[in-house]
Structure 1
Amino acid sequence: MNPFFNEDHESIREMARDFAEKALAPIAADIDKNEHFPEEVVKQMADLGFLGLKIPEAYGGLGLDMRSYVCVMEEIAKKCATATLFISSANSLSTAPIVISGTEEQKQRYLPGVASGEEYIAFGLTEPNAGSDAASMTTRAVEDGDFYILNGRKCFITMAPISKYTIVYAKTNPEKGAKGISCFMVDMSLPGVSCGRHEEKMGQRGVPVSDVVLEDVRVPKECMIGEKDLGFINAMKTLSVGRIGVASMCLGMAAEAIELAVNHTKNRVQFGKPLCKHQAIAFMLADMETKLNAARGLVYNAAWLMDNKQPADKAASMAKYFAAEAAIDIINKSLQLHGGYGYSREYEIERLYRDVRVCSIYEGSSQVQQIVISGQMLK
């Protein structure tokens, strides 16, 4: 038994592994090819509780801990990275802002629909000129009676075209910089809200991504999440949860890549013996396995710290930074070991190679994680 996990964690891991192998593995290539994730599979994940893992029981979720979330994300990612986006959205970016700062009425209104898979909520922080430097956002929210009028543009917003709501961060006091940002729940059907063009992505193609455009959108004051001007703190707390989720996804993809590499090199004969019997190849596999297990230690530790109410921001950043970079390297090496076969879309490793690349970019690039880590060290 892993010291970070108990029997309950391993039980939900086994359930996720079984679902991934039976329901996701057979359709993963089609999801990537057709850029469409079946609604019935989302419903299956909701029925298993995967979309409500971290949502409190009072609002339709399971109320489980971060380590349960890590177990599910890791196993699902082995077979279909796209599927993890539905799980991570539901348990972190879509709901964490509400769980952290929302009113009781907001929790009752928004969380149950996410847990049941009936409603999607997008997370609108990134802008064309405010990616890593989120505090430089230009989206504005101007008070007008019982409303705020929002104007701006968010970009690369996962699930925006299929979402009922988008959580939008906007400046209510621009002169205060990061200390003047507030968080709003924006109904996507409101006048003035529109989506930009569909982004043609390199990987994780089964979930739509687009801009969210806000043109004089009147949002009721009761749709502000948390206190005025404290939205940036809310966003950063949310991203700590999200970073552990991305790191867990990286573990799953890297583990799958290693398994594929081991199987291929055992069965591929060159120079009169299996590839894995050549020392150079065996040592590559050893390096891959070592990096994966080092990443696991960081990810599991960060989840344990968060579950035990310990400071976890630096640990989450270290986990996300190392796991993403390690997974990219591991999957690159696995593709190399597949030779020409790895470059063919008929082989799973090619899809993994495309799916993993964004993991060192979204929810805080590797360079942003280095800023967070060093900032914690030097404060």
Structure 2
Amino acid sequence: MSATEGEYLHDLRETLRRFVDKEMPRDVVAQWDRENRFPREVFRKLADLGVLGLTVPEEHGGLGRDIVATMAVIEELSKRSLAVAIPYINAACYAGMNIVECGTPEQKASILPRVVSGDMIFAYGWTEPDVGADLASVRTRAQRVGGTITVNGAKRFCTGAEESDYLYTLVRTGPESERHRNLTLLLIPSRHPGVRIERIHALGLHGFSTTDVTFDNVEVGLDAIVGGEQAWNGAWPMIVGPGLDVEKLEVAAMALGVGAAALADAWSYAGERRQFGKTISEYQSIRHKLADMKTQLHAARLVLYHAAGLAQRRLPCSGETSMAKLLATEACKAIALECQTIHGAYGYVKEFDVERCVRDAIGLPIIGGSSAIQRNNIYKWINRS
């Protein structure tokens, strides 16, 4: 990284920290978590900073593709609340990056300026009740008759479907026997006739709904095909390409933010909490816990931003992104639980933010490809090397 790039990232982080302190105070964030509410008014103010344009080319109103800076935004937002960090991902990455990489010129002209302004959010309609990591086995079907596409099926764990403008939906468009050749991506409006969205009440990751989505004879036009008519049955390269690598980094950046927040609170608490005549930070066992967690975070940060740099330069990075996702999310979970232990009984009550960090941290090794999947990816990558 050049000195100029380093200065830019430093200034970007400082801008985001001021934004978080002003627009996302702790008591308000706790209310979002209790109500499981998306603070759209804060999201629109975030758009005013221009950071939603970090995945969008200048010709569409963005700042140009900058994966490293995008990860820095996710990390800084996640230090305070995933209720803003996750919608940022759904807009800048799910909508912005995917349409830049895969959309038609018409789709880019229509969608990308609205991503930059904060008026366009996507939700992924990929996983299904019986389909998780094996996306080539999706059963939601789309049939094409003339200029109309009819969709029937069900999707599960669609983050943000209630708040999104479009469902970025993977559908089966041919025989299941030709798994990878008969898949298509569709842009289905979230409030379209025949679309039913039901909220799932999850332990953490509050503020941006986790949902089930059902499609009952949903009809869309051919312009809903991501990439245009020539991309009918051509979704697989769109899924396994650069977008999937960056998705792993997005979750890793969230984990860095959550882990850093938990550690900062535990560090402060250890310096204030007194037991047996001295602060608990004076006990070697606590100091060692804090030192180990700081080291874990530092290692995860180095791996994440190394992988992000490779992705920015469009170099092969599937192994590195899997390692970043695995290391950061598992470290975050371990750190959050250790920080809760340092807080003692206070770490178990909702008045302390570490309780929310624990609930969020537990979900991060699962979403975006589980830790088991990442270990499989890493093993395969090593064998190919």
- TM-score tier by shorter-chain length is over 0.9
Contact kept in structure 2, 1:114 and 1:121, CA below 8 Å: no
Structure 1 residues 73-152: aligned runs within 5 Å: 73-152=74-153
Q: By how many angstroms is 1:2 displaced?
A: 9.2
Structure 1 residues 61-72: aligned runs within 5 Å: 61-72=62-73
- The answer for the alignment partner of 2:239 in structure 1 is 235
Letter in 1 for 2:378: I
- The answer for the alignment partner of 2:166 in structure 1 is 165
Letter in 2 for 1:194: R
Contact kept in structure 2, 1:13 and 1:68, CA below 8 Å: no
Deviations 1:66-99 (A, max 9, x none): 1111111111111112210111111212233211
Q: Give the paired residue count.
A: 378
Deviations 1:174-209 (A, max 9, x none): 2211232111111234332221x2111211211122
Which secondary structure state, in structure 2, belongs to the residue aligned with residue 300 of structure 1? helix
Cα distance in 1 for residues equivalent to 2:285 and 2:164? 49
Deviations 1:111-163 (A, max 9, x none): 22222122322111011100122221111122211222211111111111122
Alignment equivalent of 1:373, drawn from 345, 357, 378: 378
Contact kept in structure 1, 2:74 and 2:88, CA below 8 Å: yes
Cα distance in 1 for residues equivalent to 2:93 and 2:39? 21
- The answer for the alignment partner of 2:50 in structure 1 is 49
Q: By how many angstroms is 1:62 displaced?
A: 2.1
Query: How high is the sequence identity, in percent, across the aligned residues?
Result: 35
- The answer for the alignment partner of 1:264 in structure 2 is 269
- The answer for the alignment partner of 2:18 in structure 1 is 18
Letter in 2 for 1:182: T
Which secondary structure state, in structure 2, belongs to the residue aligned with residue 143 of structure 1? strand
Which secondary structure state, in structure 2, belongs to the residue aligned with residue 61 of structure 1? coil
Cα distance in 1 for residues equivalent to 2:151 and 2:187? 11
Contact kept in structure 1, 2:199 and 2:211, CA below 8 Å: yes
Which secondary structure state, in structure 2, belongs to the residue aligned with residue 95 of structure 1? helix
Deviations 1:259-280 (A, max 9, x none): 1111111111112221111111
Contact kept in structure 2, 1:4 and 1:301, CA below 8 Å: no
The change in CA–CA distance for 1:81 and 1:164 in structure 2 (over 3 A counts) is: closer
Contact kept in structure 2, 1:4 and 1:304, CA below 8 Å: no
- The answer for the alignment partner of 1:210 in structure 2 is 211
Cα distance in 2 for residues equivalent to 1:48 and 1:54? 14
Structure 1 residues 282-293: aligned runs within 5 Å: 282-293=287-298
Contact kept in structure 2, 1:4 and 1:300, CA below 8 Å: no
Q: By how many angstroms is 1:289 displaced?
A: 0.8
Q: By how many angstroms is 1:4 displaced?
A: 11
Contact kept in structure 1, 2:37 and 2:83, CA below 8 Å: no
Letter in 2 for 1:254: G
1:323 aligns with 2:324: no
Deviations 1:233-264 (A, max 9, x none): 21233221121111111111111111111111
Letter in 2 for 1:172: T
- The answer for the alignment partner of 2:337 in structure 1 is 332
Deviations 1:11-60 (A, max 9, x none): 11111111112211332101101211222101101111232321222223
Cα distance in 1 for residues equivalent to 2:256 and 2:25? 17
- The answer for the alignment partner of 2:192 in structure 1 is 190
Cα distance in 1 for residues equivalent to 2:23 and 2:286? 33
Cα distance in 2 for residues equivalent to 1:79 and 1:267? 21
Q: By how many angstroms is 1:104 displaced?
A: 0.6
Which secondary structure state, in structure 2, belongs to the residue aligned with residue 153 of structure 1? strand
The change in CA–CA distance for 1:378 and 1:230 in structure 2 (over 3 A counts) is: farther
- Give 5+ residue unaligned stretches, structure 1: none
- Give 5+ residue unaligned stretches, structure 2: none
The change in CA–CA distance for 1:3 and 1:235 in structure 2 (over 3 A counts) is: farther
Cα distance in 1 for residues equivalent to 2:111 and 2:130? 30
Which secondary structure state, in structure 1, belongs to the residue aligned with residue 314 of structure 2? coil
Letter in 2 for 1:340: A
RMSD: 1.7
The change in CA–CA distance for 1:305 and 1:4 in structure 2 (over 3 A counts) is: farther
Cα distance in 2 for residues equivalent to 1:121 and 1:294? 32
The change in CA–CA distance for 1:123 and 1:4 in structure 2 (over 3 A counts) is: farther
Letter in 2 for 1:362: I
